[in-house]
């Protein structure tokens, strides 16, 4: 059993150690808050590069962060907010000492906080959602062609940052093709060190963990839905539905549905550690990993998607954003696992990515051999040597590399 468990790959991320004591400065505590609601922003990144070294901190569930590194220029970012750069930080915080200061971030998206919804679930909701499930194979995955894509990903650790942009052609999963595939035409990555590895894991998660992939009869059965009749969409047929899981308080979101066609037009879903351990990881596999000291402490996903319609009537994920906060502990050092992380660039606890897909009027002729298969990504998995080779190949795509500098 031990030899089998040594082949488990924890590609999601691992926790990084804190800043070394010799580098720590007087700790400054700040609160990162939403500029509209003034509520704390969980899992926002605060980072800087000072004297050639990168440092970062992350806010907790209440939006509180402790800056224990010296810097003069601080960047504050979160996928759902406009990035904020604070220049001359030393002079601004010199009088704060241990007191808290508040940093406000401007939301990128319409607030999906508390609204007045129907107290009871209207009967039509489940009928319409079940119809959306029945027809999703043809409506969302019935297109046999390919589209342009633009993928951005950013991963931040305590002492490291990684960014990548990848553009090219995306061939969709369909009845004719089991997996997504791509032809890349540009790839550029930025890192705090000489790491030159390409990362497609978040791209694959956005494709295979699409909201419509999660939406099935079990999802409908395990959630409660509430109509927001104050919502004003582009047509009278559009209704906004808030949903939550009565069983797991860490599972909730919002979707917009066209009630005439019974198709989902956009969706946002937040899932926390309890839900993700149940949905994204095989229970038996995780229990076996726990025997050898591995624990998942934090596993938080935020997935947002807006669908658009092609001329043939099929829908596609035009705009996708994805945030993953993942923290685990391994009780036993695994040299093979560490080597794999070096080969694939794994090991970041805070990851964000966006994907834009654009239909093209003219599709270039591409040989079958030119397509790179994009297999489903995963978090914990027993894998073969072929699986390892495939991951390493996807981490070695040609790309232009540059060292991260201050923004």
Mean pLDDT for 268-275 is 96
- β-strands 146-157, 101-105 pairing: unpaired
Query: Residue 187 — very low, low, confident or very high, per pLDDT cuts 50/70/90?
Result: very high
Least-confidence region, from 93-107, 187-201, 202-216, 360-374: 93-107
Residue 24 has a pLDDT of 40
Mean pLDDT for 347-374 is 86
- CA-CA distance, 300 to 309, in Å (whole number)? 30
Cα–Cα separations (whole angstroms), residue 40 to 177, 251, 345: 44, 19, 31
Query: Residue 270 — very low, low, confident or very high, per pLDDT cuts 50/70/90?
Result: very high
| Structural contact between residues 137 and 183, judged by C-beta atoms closer than 8 angstroms | no
Residue 302 has a pLDDT of 96
Query: Residue 98 — very low, low, confident or very high, per pLDDT cuts 50/70/90?
Result: very low
- CA-CA distance, 39 to 32, in Å (whole number)? 8
Percentage of residues in the chain having pLDDT higher than 90: 51
Tell me the pLDDT tens digit for each residue of 55-95. 899 999 999 998 888 888 899 999 999 999 988 766 555 44
Buried b (16+ CB within 10 A) or exposed e, 332-348: eebeebeebbeebbbbb
| Structural contact between residues 301 and 322, judged by C-beta atoms closer than 8 angstroms | yes
| Structural contact between residues 301 and 340, judged by C-beta atoms closer than 8 angstroms | no
Mean pLDDT for 170-185 is 89
Residue 302, classified by CB atoms within 10 Å of its CB into exposed (0-12), middle (13-18) or buried (19+), is buried
Residues 6+ apart with CB under 8 A from 290: none
Residue 293 has a pLDDT of 81
pTM: 0.86
Residue 116 has a pLDDT of 57
DSSP H or E segment with residue 351: strand 350-358
Mean pLDDT for 363-383 is 83
The better pLDDT of the pair 48, 336 is held by: 48
Least-confidence region, from 85-89, 136-140, 187-191, 275-279: 85-89
- CA-CA distance, 110 to 100, in Å (whole number)? 28
Query: Residue 97 — very low, low, confident or very high, per pLDDT cuts 50/70/90?
Result: very low
Q: Of the ranges 66-75, 191-200, 206-215, 358-367, which is most confident?
A: 206-215
The better pLDDT of the pair 93, 121 is held by: 121
Nearest alpha carbon to residue 58 among 278, 326, 339: 326
Residue 100 has pLDDT above 70, yes or no: no
């Amino acid at each position: 059993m031990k030899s089998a468990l040594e082949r488990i790959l924890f590609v999601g991320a691992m926790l990084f150690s804190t800043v070394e004591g010799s580098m720590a400065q007087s700790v400054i505590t700040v609160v990162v808050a939403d500029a509209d609601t003034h509520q704390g922003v969980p899992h926002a990144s605060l980072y800087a590069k000072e004297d050639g070294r990168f440092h970062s901190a992350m806010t907790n569930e209440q939006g509180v962060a402790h800056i224990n590194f010296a810097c003069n220029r601080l960047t504050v970012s979160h996928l759902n907010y406009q990035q904020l750069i604070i220049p001359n930080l030393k002079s601004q915080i010199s009088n704060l000492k241990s007191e808290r200061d508040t940093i406000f971030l401007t939301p990128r998206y319409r607030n999906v906080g508390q609204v007045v919804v129907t107290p009871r679930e209207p009967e039509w909701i489940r009928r319409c959602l079940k119809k959306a499930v029945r027809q999703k194979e043809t409506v969302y995955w019935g297109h046999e062609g390919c589209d342009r894509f633009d993928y951005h990903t950013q991963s931040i650790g305590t002492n490291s940052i990684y960014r990548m942009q990848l553009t090219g052609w995306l061939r969709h999963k369909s009845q004719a093709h089991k997996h997504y595939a791509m032809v890349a035409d540009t790839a550029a990555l930025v890192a705090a060190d000489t790491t030159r590895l390409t990362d497609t894991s978040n791209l694959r998660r956005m494709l295979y963990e699409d909201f419509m992939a999660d939406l099935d009869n079990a999802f409908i059965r395990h959630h409660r839905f509430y109509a927001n009749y104050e919502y004003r969409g582009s047509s009278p047929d559009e209704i906004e539905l808030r949903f939550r899981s009565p069983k797991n308080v860490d599972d909730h979101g919002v979707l917009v549905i066209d009630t005439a066609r019974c198709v989902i037009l956009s969706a946002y879903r937040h899932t926390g550690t309890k839900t993700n351990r149940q949905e994204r990881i095989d229970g038996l596999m995780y229990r076996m990993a726990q025997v050898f000291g591995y624990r998942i402490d934090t596993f938080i996903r935020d997935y947002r998607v807006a669908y658009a319609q092609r001329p043939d009537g099929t829908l596609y994920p035009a705009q996708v954003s994805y945030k993953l906060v993942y923290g685990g502990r391994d009780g036993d050092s695994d040299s093979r696992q560490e080597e794999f992380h070096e080969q694939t660039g794994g090991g970041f606890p805070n990851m964000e990515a966006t994907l834009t897909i654009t239909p093209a009027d003219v599709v270039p002729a591409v040989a079958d051999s030119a397509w790179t298969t994009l297999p489903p990504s995963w978090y914990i998995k027993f894998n073969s040597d072929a699986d390892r080779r495939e991951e390493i190949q996807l981490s070695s795509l040609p790309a232009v590399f540059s060292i991260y500098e201050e923004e």
